[in-house]
Amino acid sequence: MFKKFKILSLIGILLINFIPSLDLQAQEYDPDFDQNYIISQFQMFDYDAMSQAEIQSFLVSKGSYLVDYYTDGWPIHCDIRTGSDDSNCQIMTRMRASEIIYSAAQRYKVSPRLILVMLQKEQGLIQWEGTPPAKRLDWACGYAVCDNCSMDDPKIQKYKGFGRQVDNVAGAMRFYQDYAHTYSYIKTASKAYNIDGETVIPSNQSTANLYTYTPHTRGPYTFWRVWQRYFGDPTSSQRDKTSTISTDYMLQIIGSSIEKLMVYEGEKTGVWVEYLNIGTKVWDNETQNKLYLIDAKYKSQIPIISKTSNFSLEESMKKDVVVYSAKKTVLPGKVLRLSFLLGADYEKYKSGEYILVLDGKGWFADSGIAYNLERIFRYDAKLNKGIPKNLEAGETNTITVEYKNVGTKPWYQGETYLKWISSGHEHYAKMNQWHILPGEIASFTFYSKVDGVGDHQYDLSVWKKVDAGKYNKFPTGENKFVANMSVRYAAKILYESIPREIVANQEKNVILRVRNIGSETWNENLVLRSYSNIKPFSSSYFDSSEWISSMAIQKVNKEVKPGNVYVFKFKVKAPSRAYTYDQYYQLEWGPNYKEIYIGKDLSKHYQTKVIN
């Protein structure tokens, strides 16, 4: 019978304006904030803390819209603790907001200050500038609306209305207190909970009640700060103990653009945030460069505003200011609205966070505004056919790749290109077809020659030509390929005994063991040659009477299939003059002396020192 009173993971102000939640570990809080002890039992249940007249006077002092707000109240006999059927409850006559607040506080024996703080924390209704939107009044305390729920959900309409919201938030806090050990969804004191990735152990049931109502740290933190501003220390066992923090410069986010933004590539989208000055000091911006949003990466370099904080913006930081306020002053109770444009480049996702800074003081706690920008791509590509795994080294390979148009716009030959990068050099290939509609396959053909053997990387990406010399990359049409550059005739040296030092006129036996790593069988057409220089080719300084010629050492004398090993055994005779000589060894195929690769090289270079 109590099921209907379970709060469904709400985040107050998020319900109306989608204020973005932040990563708690990235958000700094006032040093005095203890997430385990937010409010004392006394403060939460001090139901005689304010009379109706005092509530009314408080609203007047804040210039609240609620001062003269009348609406339907809540029948006294429909106590939510009893599980009364709402359909049998008759709405009371129209009541003043202060009367509704006072009546709920008395009915459930909770502090009227609790209700006032919740009205500000959830919908900014205590210090709203002007007339609040109807939805803020209808869901004044955010009761019964979960993080991902719609306010139009038929199941929660019975909780709609200022009077019902006030009654239910007061009733919920009493219900959590009285039934903490009866229902498992109610968080309890001294028990550990994972809240936004951190361990929270409420030190009393009142603190646990706040986390039950809003299961995030930021909501209770805002509650704590607002209470400090309005009524002093919420953890005190005395009614009017002085605030433990500076309340000079305080704010509350009362509206912002949604956190997740969808925008077409190449276009810009507007981001905005509204800050309510709930502190006691004027935000002075006479020079119009003292109040600004800046990248939150500077949180560690800019102090949080306190009684003693001071800060001046460094020149190097100015590039990360996203917008300066045009307002010269922001009085207490007034709203600062900041808006700026975010460019949608060709990355798929982009996220960030900004904080509000008052130059000379520091940054406002709880001012962080986060966004996640996701592009809607009209031009995008998905790989359909890539680069072959095996290509011929030393030859010009004709390569055709295919991409599917997964965007929403057609591609045209004069504006759609494939960029391919090989050996650090960029090249462009135009699309083969005249035009490609969404869902169709486009092909691109290019020609590539790589001299070395082994693995070779190609980087591919699809680009749209915007104007002369300017191209924009498709977000997902980027791929890397590693092709094995192989040849029909290639060798790998397994062992060699080429002398590095030899006596003049001395003759030595040499062994050169090689493996056939090509795709063709060797025969007598493969010749081992030696040169003293290869540009131009010059006869070797080393020779032997057994060599075929001054440049040709020896032919292969049998068939050597791919993968097999062949051993060249030959002699070298040193020249008569002492000197350090260059030697180049090559394997050449056929009557045209086609050089074949030895590893990744066409020639293996050695130096031999001749001594007397």
pLDDT digits over 250-284, tens only? 999 988 887 777 777 777 888 899 999 999 999 99
Do 187 and 273 belong to one domain? Answer: no
pLDDT at 516 over 70: yes
Domain end marker among 376, 402, 434:
376
What's the mean per-residue pLDDT of the chain? 88
* 3-state secondary structure string across 141-168: CCCCCCCCCCCCCHHHHHHCCHHHHHHH
For 450-548, list the strands marked E by DSSP: 454-467, 470-486, 490-496, 501-503, 507-516, 526-534, 537-539
Residue 17 lies in a domain: yes
Beta pairing, strands 470-486 & 390-392: parallel
Indicate the pLDDT class of residue 9, thresholds 50, 70 and 90.
very low
Question: Euclidean distance between the first and final Cα of the chain, in Å?
Answer: 110
What is the rounded average pLDDT of the residues 50-77? 88
Give dist(CA 58, CA 98) in Å, integer.
9
pLDDT at 424 over 90: yes
What is the rounded average pLDDT of the residues 556-562? 96
What is the per-residue pLDDT for 373?
78
What is the per-residue pLDDT for 8?
34
Do 274 and 401 belong to one domain? Answer: no
Residue 182 lies in a domain: yes
DSSP state of 182: T
pLDDT at 217 over 50: yes
Do 76 and 163 belong to one domain? Answer: yes
What is the per-residue pLDDT for 10?
31
Residue 398 lies in a domain: yes
Give dist(CA 580, CA 554) in Å, integer.
24
SS3 state at 579: strand
What is the per-residue pLDDT for 249?
94
CB 113 within 8 A of CB 230: yes
Do 34 and 108 belong to one domain? Answer: yes
Domain end marker among 452, 486, 520:
486
Q: Helix axis angle, 112-123 relative to 97-108, nearest 10°?
A: 120
Do 604 and 540 belong to one domain? Answer: yes
Do 95 and 220 belong to one domain? Answer: yes
Do 145 and 286 belong to one domain? Answer: no
Domain extent, residue 552, equals: 490-611
What is the rounded average pLDDT of the residues 472-485? 88
Indicate the pLDDT class of residue 307, thresholds 50, 70 and 90.
confident
Domain end marker among 328, 350, 376:
376
Do 34 and 172 belong to one domain? Answer: yes
Indicate the pLDDT class of residue 22, thresholds 50, 70 and 90.
very low
What is the rounded average pLDDT of the residues 93-118? 95
What is the per-residue pLDDT for 223?
95
Q: 597 or 87: whose pLDDT is higher?
A: 597
Residue 338 lies in a domain: yes
How many CA atoms are closer than 13 Å to the CA of 265, on its beta-carbon side? 22
Residue 512 lies in a domain: yes
Residue 13 lies in a domain: yes
CATH number of 461's domain = 2.60.40.10
Indicate the pLDDT class of residue 346, thresholds 50, 70 and 90.
low
Indicate the pLDDT class of residue 149, thresholds 50, 70 and 90.
low
pLDDT at 169 over 60: yes
Residue 65 lies in a domain: yes
Indicate the pLDDT class of residue 13, thresholds 50, 70 and 90.
very low
pLDDT at 438 over 50: yes
Do 181 and 73 belong to one domain? Answer: yes
Do 225 and 262 belong to one domain? Answer: no
Among the ranges given (145-159, 237-251, 269-283, 349-363), the one the predictor scored with the smallest mean pLDDT: 145-159
What is the per-residue pLDDT for 370?
85
Torsion, Cα 239 240 243 247, to 10 degrees, reads 120
What is the rounded average pLDDT of the residues 488-516? 95
What is the per-residue pLDDT for 91?
53
Indicate the pLDDT class of residue 475, thresholds 50, 70 and 90.
confident
Do 440 and 502 belong to one domain? Answer: no
**pLDDT tens digits for range 371-419:** 887 777 788 899 999 999 999 888 899 999 999 999 999 999 999 999 9
What would the two tokens of residue 127 be? 């210090």
pLDDT at 16 over 90: no
Number of domains in the chain: 4
Residue 246 lies in a domain: no
Do 95 and 81 belong to one domain? Answer: yes
